[in-house]
Amino acid sequence: MTTTAGTPIDSANGKLVRTQGVTAPLGFRAAGIAAGIKASGKPDLALVFNEGPEYAAAGVFTRNQVKAAPVLWSQQVLKSGRLRAVILNSGGANACTGPGGFQDTHQTAEKLAEALSNWGTETGAGEIAVCSTGLIGDRLPMDKLLPGVTEIVHEMGGGMSGGADAAYAIMTTDTVPKEAAFHHRDKWNVGGMAKGAGMLAPSLATMLVVLTTDAAVSAEQLDKALRNATRLTFDRLDVDGSCSTNDTVLLLANGASEVSPSQDELDAAVLAVCDDLAAQLMADAEGVTKRVTITVTGAADEEQALIAARAVARDSLVKTALFGSDPNWGRVLAAVGIAPITLDPNRISVSFNGNPVCVDSVGAPGARQVDLSGADIAVLIELNVGDGTASVRTTDLSHGYVEENSAYSS
């Protein structure tokens, strides 16, 4: 197993599966129901509940200055490094909804705290994170959401089914739910679920990820593992590190396994799950017909390699060429050339799926005949100025993408 960043994960340490998600670790329950937020009647409310005995948690949030109410709420709550539950809704982003929207989020957390307390688990609203995804600018239908919050607490099940229901309920334009779990040989686990489907323009395609682990670790350890993993996976899924108003990645730990892995072991397991979820997000991106990896090597440093890879991954002309299975390497060079990095304009080499198409900034023989008709395209760009390397996952720019995103206020 190899991660996006090329870091090897020793598979002797454990096993990664896609058949389980947030309820793979011990002591986590989850549920997903249709509360009536979506007009379609599809599932739209999810709950992830930590049974303890510990409640350590960490989070990574959107860097967008325009933050949705649930992001503002969850950031505040997480200052304690502690979470007992996460409630997530699809069908509405609750972003750009003013003070009223923030109150809706607050009320949702209060309602869940009340329901959990009635159910027998004394919980405060300050131990509950809230996530929302959907159209920006509309208030949530609280008359449907609040009764749903009470209902979902009763629906919570243990085992695999609860996790799958939750993963299904957070979908928007996703076509499939995304789950992954890593079972460490030392009998502790990391599980996760994700949603997000507009990877061509992550500036607005909300990504929600909830990760759970039964390892006995501190909030600080979780924070370190989560930041490391998101930097190498979700942040390099496409593009520019830009985020929607609602992007949220949460990691909850309960110590139920009674195993305390080292930081390195935790980092590797969280990275493995995030890397697999990121691959699933790319594969299900809106309108995708090609799964593309842009790798830049020989940059001055890793940061510059990443800037260059992102510049190419964002370039509409490169993306449309790949949609057309066109080995148009000139567009790759032009995209690299506008990246604000150190370059030798005469020493750039490019290969598509291992076939050299440009050597030292001049076309290679047969470059226009390279077959890119398959669904996977690996673009390798060698800058020949240093040792920096980075990869970014992206997709093509297709008719399907235009179609899906030009539909009325979706």
Q: Which residues are catalytic?
A: 206
Instruction: Find the binder of its own copies among 200, 237, 278, 279 (CB under 8 A).
Output: 200
Q: How many residues bind its own copies (CB under 8 A)?
A: 66
Alpha helices by DSSP H, listed for 142-234, are 142-155, 159-169, 219-232
Does position 406 interact with its own copies (CB under 8 A)? The reply is yes
* 9 vs 14: CA distance, rounded Å: 9
Backbone angles phi, psi at 256, to 5 degrees: -65, -25
Written as six digits, the tokens of 76 are 């505040």
Which structure tokens are listed for 16? 């990664």
Report the residue from 95, 130, 278, 285 that binds its own copies according to the rule CB under 8 A: 95
Given candidates 51, 110, 114, 138, which one binds its own copies under the rule CB under 8 A? 138
Partners of 34 in the β-ladder:
none
* Residues 368 and 352: beta-carbon distance below 8 Å: no
Per-residue x/- marks for its own copies, 108-137, CB under 8 A?
---------------------------xxx
Closest alpha carbon to 195 in 132, 127, 147: 132
- Based on CB atoms, which residue is closest to its own copies, 181 or 332? 332
Does 206 belong to an annotated binding site? Answer: yes
* Least gap, CB of 204 to its own copies (angstroms): 5
Provide the minimum distance between the beta carbon of 151 and its own copies in the complex, in angstroms, as a whole number.
29
Subset of residues 54 to 73 that bind its own copies, contact rule: CB under 8 A: 63-67
The distance of closest approach from Cβ of residue 42 to its own copies in the complex, given in angstroms and rounded to an integer, is: 21
Q: Which of 78, 71, 70 is nearest to 145 (CA)?
A: 70
Site membership for its own copies, residue 397 (CB under 8 A): yes
Among 5, 96, 142, 160, binds its own copies (CB under 8 A): 96
Residues 174-193 touching its own copies, rule: CB under 8 A, are none
Q: Given the complex with its own copies, which of 141 and 363 has the nearer CB atom?
A: 363
Which positions from 232 through 261 interact with its own copies, judged by CB under 8 A?
A: 240, 242-245
Whether 410 has a binding-site annotation, put simply, is yes
The residue length of the chain stands at 410
203 is in an annotated binding site: no
For residue 405, state whether it binds its own copies (rule: CB under 8 A).
Answer: yes
Minimum distance of its own copies from residue 233's CB (angstroms): 19
Give 374's DSSP letter: S
Contact (Cβ atoms closer than 8 angstroms) between residue 302 and residue 389:
yes
Measured between alpha carbons, how far is 176 from 274 in angstroms, rounded to an integer? 17
The 8-class DSSP code of residue 237 comes to B
Q: Is 405 annotated as a binding residue?
A: yes
When the beta carbons of 84 and 236 are compared against its own copies, the nearer one is 236
The response to whether 150 counts as a known ligand-binding position is no
Q: Is the dihedral of CA 72, 74, 76, 78 positive or negative?
A: negative
Rounded to a whole number of angstroms, the minimum distance from the CB of residue 163 to its own copies is 29
Q: Please, which contacts does 221-225 make with residues 24 or more away whose CB atoms are closer than 8 Å? A: 221/56, 221/263, 221/266, 222/56, 222/57, 222/58, 222/251, 222/253, 222/266, 223/58, 223/81, 224/263, 224/267, 225/58, 225/251, 225/263, 225/266, 225/267, 225/270, 225/271
- Decide: is 407 part of the binding site for its own copies (CB under 8 A): yes
In the region spanning residues 344 to 363, those forming contacts with its own copies, defined by CB under 8 A, are 345-346, 348, 358, 360-363
Query: Binding site for substrate: residue ranges?
Result: 172, 195, 206, 286, 405, 410
Residues interacting with its own copies, by CB under 8 A? 63-67, 93, 95-98, 135-138, 198, 200-201, 203-205, 240, 242-245, 315-317, 320-321, 323-324, 326-331, 333-338, 343, 345-346, 348, 358, 360-363, 367-368, 397-399, 401-403, 405-409
